[in-house]
Structure 1
Amino acid sequence: MKFDLSQALGVLLLVLGAQGAIRLLIDHDKLGLLSGLDAGFGVTLGLYVVVVVIGAVLAGWSRDRAKAAGRRR
């Protein structure tokens, strides 16, 4: 149960990062959630990619830990 929240957070980060990166690639002027940074296209795209990677790693790690905890019970 304790890993379910971190897995949901990882999936949320993955979805938001991927959606923002795809939107930015289609329309370079729409920076999405990171528009307040005024960092430009490249930096913003890089940040979205980092968010996607963090979300994927967090979701995968949480899933593995939840499966391992379930086997121990």
Structure 2
Amino acid sequence: MKRVTGLVGGMLLFVLGAQGGIRLLADHDNAGLLSWTPGGFPMRLSGYALMIIVGALLAGWGSKKAERSGRGE
């Protein structure tokens, strides 16, 4: 169950980071989920990039663990 939770959580982080980053690039004033963070555009874009990276790593970890247990077939 922990592997599936990691996979789903990673995919959710990845999607939220990608969607927020694209929105921020299209309209610099629309910060979305990270509108509360100080630092302006560069810090918010870095936050979304970090969400994408962490989400991809977490989803990859959950996927590899699920494959090893025989659920990836």
TM-score strictly above 0.5: yes
How many matched pairs?
71
- 2:16 is matched with which residue? 16
Tell me, which stretches of 5 or more residues in structure 1 are unaligned?
A: none
Tell me, which stretches of 5 or more residues in structure 2 are unaligned?
A: none
- 1:63 is matched with which residue? 63
Q: RMSD between aligned alpha carbons?
A: 1.2
State the 1:38 CA deviation: 2.9
Task: Give the TM-score taking structure 1 as reference length.
Answer: 0.91
Distance of 1:70 and 1:2 partners within structure 2: 15
Task: Give the TM-score taking structure 2 as reference length.
Answer: 0.91
- 2:36 is matched with which residue? 36
The structure with the greater share of residues assigned to helix is: 1
Runs of 4+ in structure 1 off by over 4 angstroms are none
State the 1:2 CA deviation: 2.8
